[in-house]
Amino acid sequence: MGRGFTRGRRRASQWARDRLLGFFVVLCLLPVFAGIAAVAAKAEPRVALVIGNAAYRNASPLQNTIADSEAVAAALGRLGFSVTHRTDLGKGALEAVLADFADKATGAEQAVFYYAGHGMELDGENYLIPTDARLTTDRRIGFETVGLSDILASIEDVKGLRLVLLDACRNNPFTATMKPSRGNRSVGRGLARVEPKPGMLVSYAAAAGTTADDGDAAVGHSPYTEALLHYVEQPGLELNLMFRQIADRVQERTKGRQTPFEYGRLPGISIYLKPPLVEAALPAAAADPCAEAALHWQAIAGENDATLLREHIDRFPNCAFAGIAKRRLAALETAPQADGPSATATANAQEAAGAPGTNAADPALEVAALAPAPALAVTEPADGAVDSTLVRAIQTRLSGAGCLLSKADGHWGPQSQAALSAYRRQRALPDGADTPSQALLAALSGVPGRVCPLVCGNRQVERNGQCVAKTCPAGRVLSASGACIRERTKTVTRERSTTPQRRTIERQPTVAQQKVQPVRQQAAEEKPVKVQRRCQSVREAELHLDCRPL
């Protein structure tokens, strides 16, 4: 008994020690868990720090920087950023707010830093100038300003986009009074080129080595900030494209004197400060309960089966053929049961004329969405002749489908047959629907609207579902084939002379001609004879004369 008691006490003591050790372990880990939870709770998806310096103690104040920073802070707030906005900060205040922003930006998805105020460059390094800076010598720059490298370091731990916007390239007023400590130190105009780390983009209001305009009071913003505010909240505007459009707007506003520039490289993905608008999906159109009514009626139109008629009425009670089915069913139920076609003929006749006790203008007969109302009240004659009313109804439907161009006259001729063939090329028709019948009318009524394509003449063009005359630009006319050709101008022809002028050829007379000429001259003096001379040049060296009396 003593041994058992001793073992029990040992187990209890071991259990107590284990519990106590576990308690101390948990107690030691609580601060770690609390720190992790605090960091997770503190990290925000989008953070921004906006600073505007205007009231410089040792330089002339800037007129638009406060308004610029206020407008940018408001725009970033509307974009979902947690914004910290400060104005007119001295060096100590600027460093303090920058340290707080670095803690806030750790683990954030996106971070934006915006600064409007004075900045300067010394020996290739860039600095932001607080409002209490004196800068009597260039040696004091490192003590009285905040380096751009500190700004870039404050957002290094951001997960995604890191964006630095500097409207600080204004003409530096301190360079005129600042004494150089060494002759080889260089204070440049504006800011110097910077090479940020991948995933970071630095945007200058003006390219490196140039200055930016502060803007005038009438506009209220500098050219760079005005362009930034114009584009930053546009949905679906990709970031790189946004900066290119900002540069175009600034160049246009300053007449080319100022050109913003970006330094750095972003990842090869589309980045949006405001994502594209997603159009809400349109609700699916409700299914038309009468879509299958025409097909079902087409299948049972030639039957006088009360069961089929009741099925059609039950499935499509509010559709176009329900009224016809009700009248045919009423005729079947009231007609005496007899052998032969008398019951069927009676049902068809009552269907055409309207069953007793029913109104022929029943609302169920409203079929305006499918075909003209009279087209559904026609019947096929029992003797096989084509009913003109049925033909006219079919022609009307073919005309409404754009397949029949002639008038619906009730005569089924070549034009109607051609129109039906054109319809068949666009829509399938049931077998046997080649001649006017109730089945053909039902099939045509099931497809509303235009079916056959619109065919226009050579000198016409389709516009809004109609054929209209073609037009040509000035100086051109429409040909018979429908082409616009250059207008021909009438040319003035010169009247031809009625007396043709012969080209005379001066030739030296040959020896034979010289001998003949005196003889002919003497003969002419003795007896004048009118002769007609026609000369033909056979060879270049000979001339043959053929003289005949008139």
Q: What CATH code is carried by the domain that includes residue 114?
A: 3.40.50.1460
List, for residues 445-481, the tens digit of each pLDDT value.
Answer: 766 677 788 777 777 777 766 777 878 887 788 787 7
Q: Are 294 and 259 found together in one domain?
A: no
**In the predicted model, is pLDDT for residue 277 greater than 50?**
yes
| Weakest mean pLDDT among 130-139, 361-370, 483-492 | 361-370
Q: Do 327 and 448 fall into the same domain?
A: no
One domain for residues 240 and 328: no
* Residue 214 and residue 149 share a domain: yes
Q: Are residues 166 and 24 in the same domain?
A: no
List the structure tokens of 132. 């209490």
> Is residue 24 located within the same domain as residue 60?
no
Give yes or no: residues 114 and 259 share one domain: yes
Residues spanned by the domain of 112: 43-177+185-265
Structure tokens at 535: 């000369």
Q: How many domains are there within the chain?
A: 4
Window from 56-70, 346-360, 465-479 with minimum mean pLDDT: 346-360
522 found inside a domain: no
Do 387 and 247 share a structural domain?
no
Quick check: is 308 in a domain? yes
412 and 313 together in one domain:
no
Determine, yes or no, domain membership for 526: no
Q: CA-based Rg of the chain, rounded to a whole angstrom?
A: 51
Summarize the confidence of residues 189-197 as an average pLDDT: 87
Give the pLDDT confidence of 201-253 residue by residue, as tens digits.
Answer: 999 998 887 888 877 767 789 999 999 999 999 999 999 999 999 999 999 99
Which of 422, 455, 488 is the C-terminal boundary of a domain? 455
Residue 125 lies in a domain: yes
pLDDT at 319: 83
- What average pLDDT does this structure show over 103-123? 93
Whether 293 has a pLDDT exceeding 90, the answer reads: no
- The angle at the Cα of 254, spanning 249 to 256, to the nearest 5 degrees, equals 85
Instruction: Mark which of 331, 350, 366 sits at the end of a domain.
Output: 366
505: in domain: no
User: Tell me, what amino acid is at 163?
Assistant: L
Q: Is 406 found in the same domain as 308?
A: no
The mean pLDDT value for 312-327 works out to 84
Q: Do 66 and 159 fall within a single domain? A: yes
Residue 339 in any domain: the answer is yes
At 466, give phi and psi (nearest 5°): -135, 155
- Residue 315: predicted pLDDT: 84
Chain-wide mean pLDDT for the chain?
75
Same domain assignment for residues 361 and 343: yes
Residue 444 lies in a domain: yes
d(C-alpha 201, C-alpha 46), whole Å:
16
Does residue 539 lie in a domain region?
no
Q: How confident is the model at residue 29 (pLDDT cuts 50, 70, 90)?
A: low
Compute the average pLDDT of residues 64-88.
96
**Spatial separation of the C-alpha atoms in residues 189 and 326, rounded to whole Å:** 94
Q: Among residues of the chain, what percentage have pLDDT more than 90? A: 29
Domain limit, last residue, from 350, 366, 382: 366
What's the longest Cα–Cα distance across the chain?
Answer: 194
Contact 258, 206 (CB under 8 A): yes
What is the rounded distance in angstroms from the CA atom of residue 473 to the CA atom of residue 476? 6
Q: The tokens of 307 are what?
A: 């069961």
